[in-house]
Amino acid sequence: MKILVYCEHNQGKVKKGSLELLSNAITWGVEVHAAVIGAPGSLENLAADINQFAPQHLHYVENEKLTAYSPDAFSQALADLAKAITADAVFTSVSAQSKDFFPRLAVKLDTGMASDCTELNIQGEKLEARRPLYSGKCFANIEFLGPKPYIASVRPNALGMKAAKPGAAAIAKVSAKIETVRAQVKEIVAKSGGAVKVDLTEAEKIVSGGRSLKSAENFKMLEDLATTIGASVGASRAAVDAGYRPHSDQVGQTGKTVSPVLYMAFGISGAIQHLAGMRTSKVIVAINTDPNAPIFQKADYGMVADAFQAAPALTEEFKKLQH
Amino acid sequence: MKIFVCAKQVPDTETKIKVTADGKNIDTAGIKWILCPYDEFAIEEAIRFREKNAGAQVTVISAGPDRTTETLRTALAMGCDEAIHVAIPENADSFLTAKVLARAIEKSGPAHIIFTGKQAIDDDAAQVHQAMAEFLQLPAVTVVLKAEYSANSVKLEREIEGGAIEKYEVNTPCIIAAQKGMNEPRYASLPNIMKAKKKEIKKFTLADLDVKEGDVKIQYKNITLPTERQACKMISGDVGAQAKELARLLHEEAKVI
């Protein structure tokens, strides 16, 4: 089996989700090709990141029209590469970008795609993928009916980062032929006031707060805790609707679906729509004053406590652990 | 000028999911079906567009089994002018769904703009918008928070990681997939609900669209419920002792800190 792993990059670094996928792919005993896409001459410095988990081949897919993201151009570039190397499967980590252009890639290759998978199993020439349905209320095992290449996207943190295996991939430069660019990014605007944060969907640890935090200012306690353990801050829908946090921080059915290694919920009761967004987290911690809050039924560890006292106390304890 | 909205019928977010005995499907008995919340933003955007553009007409289109017509009536009650039902089997994949929607729109167009939600909250595949755009050879921008419409183009803002925004300008016809926050969807008014009951819903079969039922690329081999977590370990004591114990457990037992 020959698989092509799309590696997304941002500001000169390969994204962590892509490296996580690559770190797994090289343990599967298959021929692994990695591909990065961008402007001519802009991709060479990415080899260092890729070679920590060295695949057999690394393709620099280049064209001036690939300087800024375009779903048309990126899908064409990757489709042509998949055909040229006769890939049996094309995989990516889930991101805003891959969610956008991979469905086009699938149609270009006249094939099917399993999105947002949490497991991939390759046996001989067959691929089976497992993915959540109904916001993780159940899981489906997906069968690919062909033709190849089979396409799948994998949720960040689902496979876990595997050990580094440094080496040197054989490098090939590909001049992509780009015919049609119908939509292309003209400008990217960061959210006002904030530095670029790790997105919740990519975060390894998340500290979330509910409406019982009572104000936007009180989320500072969770920010402090998050900083101590290298986490991102999330919120329940109620907290977002109350204006304490922006919608981009919302975890749940109409917000983000996350599966971090650690999810800590402060003052979140655990409505089914919230659980929908975080139930696939590896370890769930719930802190709530109500011992009957439904969140405790989905949590691994629980504390009946007031978030206002628990958050600073935990921050202190985590700090002690780091000394 | 024709505006299309692709909408999907999905189980209510409160639904408790059960799996059928053969493990191939979910048990649909007793499920309350709703219009996908993201498609509500798409419908609202289409209606607002019509309100500002004389001569524009909004057609809502949905692919699914027969019960899908209920959801089309909801969309009509919100203010869509016409409805089209494309009859496809339960659990058809995104490839087939996108293909039939594209063909039905081709037969009913020409489309000026096609709106849809950023994803359906049943299978959460988030594929149909861009896949349909590829079948129709149209530009598509997804996860859209804001659109400014001109005669032959649309300026769009798409949400990406960390709440950052990508700006686009695309020519019409185009496909726009709405994110929550693009607008505030209206409720159906009573007169519109009454009118919606009487409207004719146009129907396409797969044969009408020259698509074979077997033209799917993936299928569910089986469906399983998630493994239940072990019972929650409750930590007792005063808050100081609780925090100390929790930190220890996360460090030594769960090994995540």
The predicted-structure confidence for A88-147, as pLDDT tens digits, reads as follows 999 999 999 999 999 999 999 999 999 999 999 999 889 999 999 998 899 999 999 989
Residue B119: is its pLDDT beyond 80? yes
Q: Residue B87: in which H helix or E strand, if any? A: strand B82-87
Give residue A192's pLDDT band: very low, low, confident or very high (50, 70, 90).
low
Angle (nearest 5°) at CA A179 between B168 and A34:
85
The answer to whether B217 contacts chain A (CB < 8 Å) is yes
Q: How many other CB atoms sit within 10 Å of the CB of residue A294?
A: 17
Instruction: Kindly report the nearest CA distance between residue B20 and chain A, in angstroms.
Output: 12
pLDDT tens for B207-228 read 999 999 999 999 999 999 988 8
CA distances from B3 to A241, A257, B39, B69, B201 (A): 31, 31, 14, 19, 17
- Using only the alpha carbons of chain B, give its radius of gyration: 22
Domain boundaries, chain A: 2-175, 200-321
Residue A27: is its pLDDT beyond 80? yes
Say what the pLDDT of residue A323 is.
74
Say what the pLDDT of residue A15 is.
96
Give residue B229's pLDDT band: very low, low, confident or very high (50, 70, 90).
confident
What is the second-level CATH architecture of the domain A2-175? Answer: 3-Layer(aba) Sandwich (3.40)
Residue B63: is its pLDDT beyond 90? yes
Q: Cβ–Cβ of B251/A321 closer than 8 Å? A: yes
Q: Cβ–Cβ of B131/A106 closer than 8 Å? A: yes
B235 has which bridge partners? A303
Complex-level ipTM: 0.95
Per the CB < 8 A criterion, the answer to whether A283 and A165 are in contact is no
Residue A194: is its pLDDT beyond 70? no
Q: Label the pairing between strands B153-159 and B140-149.
A: antiparallel
Q: Which CATH superfamily is domain A200-321 in?
A: TPP-binding domain (3.40.50.1220)
Contacts of A115 in chain B (CB under 8 A): 124-127
pLDDT tens for B136-189 read 999 999 999 999 999 999 999 999 998 899 999 999 999 999 999 999 999 999
Average pLDDT, chain A: 95
Q: Cβ–Cβ of A99/B222 closer than 8 Å? A: no
Q: Is A242 left (phi over 0), alpha (psi -120 to 50) or beta?
A: alpha
The answer to whether B95 contacts chain A (CB < 8 Å) is yes
Instruction: Kindly report the nearest CA distance between residue B145 and chain A, in angstroms.
Output: 11
Please name each of the domains of chain B with its CATH number.
2-204 (3.40.50.620), 229-257 (no CATH)
Across the range B125-141, mean pLDDT stands at 98
Strand arrangement of the beta sheet that strand B111-117 belongs to: A187-189, B165-171, B153-159, B140-149, B174-178, B111-117, B2-6, B57-64, B82-87, B201-204
